[in-house]
Structures are given as C-alpha cells and as structure tokens.
C-alpha cells in the first residue's frame, strides 16, 4: 500500500504540466467555437490521440498509479482547459471503467482498445445506464436482457438516455435487467460491439452546458450480442443471481441468519461503475472551478473602479479567499478518496460520494461568484466564466445528484435505510 501524500512525484508533475500545456494551447482556443457548434470536437480528440493523451495506455497508467492521484490530476487539468471538450476526450473512460469494474481480463483486453481506436481512426465509447423513467433510481431500469440459450446470445430491448457518446460510439456498454424480480440486484452489464444491428441513436439533447460533448438517447430494438459480451461471464452472473434470490427469500421469511454474508447479493453493475468514477468526476469539477477562480482573480487585480483595483474591496477579496479555500478543500477530498480506492481501502464514510458532492457544489458556487466579480462582463460570452458557469451546473446532477450523494453518505454513516 502506498503512503498518502499531497506532494506529487516528478512523473506526476511532468504529466500535469504536459496536460496543462495541451489544455492551454489546444483546448482553450477551441472552446468557444465547439460550445457554439454543439458538436463533438473530433479534430481536438484526434490531436489528443496523436499526442497520446486520448489512449488506453495513458488512462491505464493513470488509473493504476498506486498513489491514486494520477486520474484526478489528469481530469483537473483537462477540465481546466474546457469542460465540454474535456468530456469529449474523457467520456470514453466511463465505459472503460465499466469493463474494468465488471469484466474478465479477456474482456478487458478485447474491448477496451476498441473503445479508443487509433490516432488515425479515433473511436469513442458510451456507457448506457439511465433511462427515461429511471435516473437516480437504478432499480427501475426497464431495459431487458434475455438469454437465448440455443444460440448463446443475449437479446437486449429498451431505451437508454443521457448517454455520453450515445449512438456515435463504436462500443456501447449497456446496463440491463436480467431478473426483474430482483430489482437492482438482477442487473448486468453487456458490451454491444461496433455495427451491431438494432442499436440506434434516438434524440440528441441540446444542453445548457458541456455542449461540445455529445449526449443522446440509445434505442435497443432486438439487439443480439454473443454470450461472451456479458461482462463477468454467465457463470459469475448465475452465482450472483442465486445469492440474491436466496437473500430475497430469507428476507421475505423474516430470517436472514442462514444467508451467507460473503459476497452479499453482489454488486450492482451500474453502481460499481459510479463508485469507481465519482472522485474522477469531482476532479473534473475542480478543474472548472479553478479556471473560473483564476479568471476572477486576474480580473479583480486589473479592473479599476473608483480609482483602485476592485480586489482592494474587502467584499471581493473575501469572496476570492472563500473560492480558493473551497477549491483546495475539494481537491483534498478527491485525492483522499482516490488514494483510498487505489489502495483498496473501504469507503467507510462514503468518501467517494463526499468528494463528488463537495467538488460539484463548489464548482457551481465558484463559477457563480466569478460571474459576480466580473459583473456585466461575466454575463457575456466575451469572457469564459459564463460558459464555465453553464458547464458546472451538471456536476450536481450527473453520475449521482447531490441529493443522492447525501443519501449515500447518510446511509453509510448511520447504517440506516434512510429514504
């Protein structure tokens, strides 16, 4: 187990500076254009791929960094550059994390490389969990997966929504219900390979923020995938479902003493992905907040009103002090959770949810204060804080709303089934 440290090593500093340069020189000059176009910035993604930033190898190196802070450092710098383009560059990693969290070594080796493609033929991937009637309530998923034993194929039917890269992805990872009677415990994740018949893009959403990132519905109409596309394999799924049924039967009879606690009822496919990604999402929010804070600080130093820079006013100076404090506090929470996850330390107080909750709320607050400090200028598209404020809004909503994060934290610290 590595020692927790707030002092990045020389390799991490080198990566941070490299990404910062890319964010400053490539992402920021393109940010306003792609936000206005509301299209996937393929040229920027390809440039990132040519440099090795958009690649399986790069993200694997950061993911397996024993310090745990490789991914947070990378996310913060890219989203400091621009959140919309940043999400287009890193959106594939959510699908990759789903495969890493639920798949076998063979499945990881097969599907993860196909999610990124090559620098000359860039691909993206999509993780499909939410549905029109099931957002925070993952137990309400209606997308079904039925096993056709004669053909060793799974047949998927349903509609997914809010899918980053949905419909334009080469590889889709879909969470579907296998046994509806078990609710969230009866779900599994499936890889839908490139070109599979029956998968199509539904509505593409026009969004308030992160507009350079493609978000759409994914329609699954009789989609057939080979048996080996079930992440983790059928034997493992059958064992997990058997435990869940045993547990459900014992609970219904009011007797849980005979149910083995080992392994419980198995992890939920969607939740396993979100648990692994929450600190990284928090790091994205920190990048946005830091960018807005730096703009506001520079503006306050140079903007003169009543014969002096506005930072000389205590109201502005104290706000900047609070902005910086909240950003640094958020980073501490994210780094702690990331280190714990990398070193297999249990989240006994829902530290992953804490980090995402606080960082997301901080990004919204900091960007709002930055707009206030810039006054009328902050409300225009001539300055980037207006875009940063729009981009930050999603961080109290996606991958678990702030309310859901508080619920997870409350349940964890109390041990009670709070609703």
**pLDDT digits over 406-415, tens only?**
999 999 999 9
Instruction: Name the residues annotated as catalytic.
Output: 399
Do 118 and 139 have their domain in common?
A: no
Do 241 and 323 have their domain in common?
A: no
Do 103 and 135 have their domain in common?
A: no
- pLDDT value for 263: 40
Quick one: average pLDDT of 330-337?
97
Instruction: Give long-range contacts, CB 8 A cutoff, 24+ apart: 32-38.
Output: 32/381, 32/384, 32/387, 34/82, 34/84, 34/85, 34/211, 34/212, 35/82, 35/84, 35/211, 35/212, 35/387, 36/211, 37/212, 38/206, 38/207, 38/211, 38/212
In a domain, 1, yes or no: no
- Here the CATH number for the domain that contains residue 347 is 1.20.140.10
In a domain, 2, yes or no: no
Do 59 and 75 have their domain in common?
A: yes
Total domain count, the chain: 3
- pLDDT value for 267: 57
- pLDDT value for 3: 87
- Here the CATH number for the domain that contains residue 245 is 2.40.110.10
Do 161 and 239 have their domain in common?
A: yes
Out of 123, 141, 165, pick the residue that ends a domain: 123
Of 42-46, 237-241, 248-252, the least confident: 248-252
**Bridge partner residues of 155 (DSSP):** 146, 224
pTM of this structure: 0.93
pLDDT 10s digits, 135-192: 778 778 999 999 999 999 999 999 999 999 999 999 999 999 999 999 989 999 999 9
- Here the CATH number for the domain that contains residue 40 is 1.10.540.10
Do 196 and 312 have their domain in common?
A: no
In a domain, 264, yes or no: no
Do 220 and 188 have their domain in common?
A: yes
Do 219 and 293 have their domain in common?
A: no
Do 295 and 332 have their domain in common?
A: yes
Out of 79, 100, 123, pick the residue that ends a domain: 123
pLDDT 10s digits, 88-146: 999 999 999 999 989 999 999 999 999 999 999 999 999 999 999 987 787 789 999 99
- pLDDT value for 232: 97
| pLDDT > 70 fraction of the chain, expressed in percent and rounded | 95
pLDDT 10s digits, 266-281: 555 555 556 668 999 9
Q: Give the Cα separation of 392 and 389 in Å (integer).
A: 5
8-state DSSP, 230: B
Do 45 and 103 have their domain in common?
A: yes
- pLDDT value for 188: 96
Which run of H or E residues covers position 171? Answer: strand 171-177
In a domain, 4, yes or no: no
Do 295 and 402 have their domain in common?
A: yes
Residue ranges making up the domain that contains 389 = 269-414
Out of 77, 95, 123, pick the residue that ends a domain: 123
The pLDDT confidence band at residue 260, using thresholds 50, 70 and 90, is very low
Do 139 and 235 have their domain in common?
A: yes
User: CA Rg, the chain, in Å?
Assistant: 22
Of 38-52, 82-96, 274-288, 349-363, the least confident: 274-288
- pLDDT value for 275: 67
pLDDT 10s digits, 365-401: 999 999 999 999 999 999 999 999 999 999 999 989 9
| pLDDT > 90 fraction of the chain, expressed in percent and rounded | 86
Q: Give the Cα separation of 323 and 362 in Å (integer).
A: 8
With a cut of 70, say whether residue 256 has pLDDT above it: no
The pLDDT confidence band at residue 226, using thresholds 50, 70 and 90, is very high
In a domain, 419, yes or no: no
Structure tokens at 163: 């899918």
In a domain, 258, yes or no: no
Q: Give the Cα separation of 350 and 340 in Å (integer).
A: 11
The pLDDT confidence band at residue 265, using thresholds 50, 70 and 90, is very low
Cα distances (angstroms) measured from residue 283 to each of 36, 61, 336, 341: 25, 17, 12, 14
Mean pLDDT over the full length of the chain: 93
The pLDDT confidence band at residue 5, using thresholds 50, 70 and 90, is confident
């Amino acid at each position: 187990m590595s020692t927790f440290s707030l002092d990045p090593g020389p390799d991490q500093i080198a990566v941070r500076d490299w990404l910062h340069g890319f964010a400053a020189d490539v992402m920021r000059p393109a940010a306003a254009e792609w936000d206005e176009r509301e299209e996937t910035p393929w040229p920027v993604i390809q440039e990132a791929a040519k440099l090795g930033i958009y690649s399986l190898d790069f993200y694997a190196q950061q993911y397996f960094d024993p310090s745990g802070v490789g991914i947070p450092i990378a996310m913060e710098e890219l989203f400091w550059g621009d959140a919309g383009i940043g999400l287009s560059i890193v959106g594939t990693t959510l699908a990759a994390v789903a495969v890493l969290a639920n798949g076998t070594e063979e499945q990881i080796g097969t599907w993860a490389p196909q999610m990124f493609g090559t620098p000359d033929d860039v691909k993206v991937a999509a993780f499909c969990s939410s549905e029109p009637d099931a957002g925070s309530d993952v137990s309400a998923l209606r997308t079904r997966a039925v096993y056709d034993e004669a053909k060793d194929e799974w047949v998927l039917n349903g509609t997914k929504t809010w899918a980053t890269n949905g419909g334009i992805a080469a590889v889709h990872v879909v969470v579907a219900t296998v046994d509806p009677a078990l609710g969230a415990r009866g779900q599994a994740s499936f890889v839908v390979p490139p070109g599979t018949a029956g998968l199509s893009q539904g509505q593409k959403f026009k969004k308030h923020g992160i507009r350079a990132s493609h978000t759409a519905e994914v329609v699954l109409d009789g989609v057939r995938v080979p048996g080996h596309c079930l992440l983790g394999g059928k034997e493992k799924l059958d064992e997990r479902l058997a435990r869940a049924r045993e547990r459900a039967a014992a609970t219904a009879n009011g007797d849980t003493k005979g149910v083995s606690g080992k392994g419980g009822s198995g992890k939920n496919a969607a939740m396993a992905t979100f648990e692994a990604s929450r600190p990284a999402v928090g790091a994205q929010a920190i990048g946005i907040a830091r960018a807005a804070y730096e703009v506001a600080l520079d503006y306050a130093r140079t903007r003169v009103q009543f014969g002096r820079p506005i930072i000389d006013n205590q109201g502005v100076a104290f706000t900047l002090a609070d902005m910086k404090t909240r950003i640094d506090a958020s980073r501490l929470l994210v780094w702690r959770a990331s280190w714990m996850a990398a070193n297999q330390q249990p989240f006994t107080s829902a530290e992953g949810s804490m980090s995402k909750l606080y960082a997301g709320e901080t990004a919204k607050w900091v960007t709002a204060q930055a707009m206030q400090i810039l006054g009328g200028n902050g409300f225009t598209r001539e300055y980037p804080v207006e875009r940063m404020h729009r981009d930050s809004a999603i961080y109290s909503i996606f991958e678990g709303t702030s309310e859901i994060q508080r619920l997870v934290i409350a349940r964890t610290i109390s041990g009670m089934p709070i609703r």
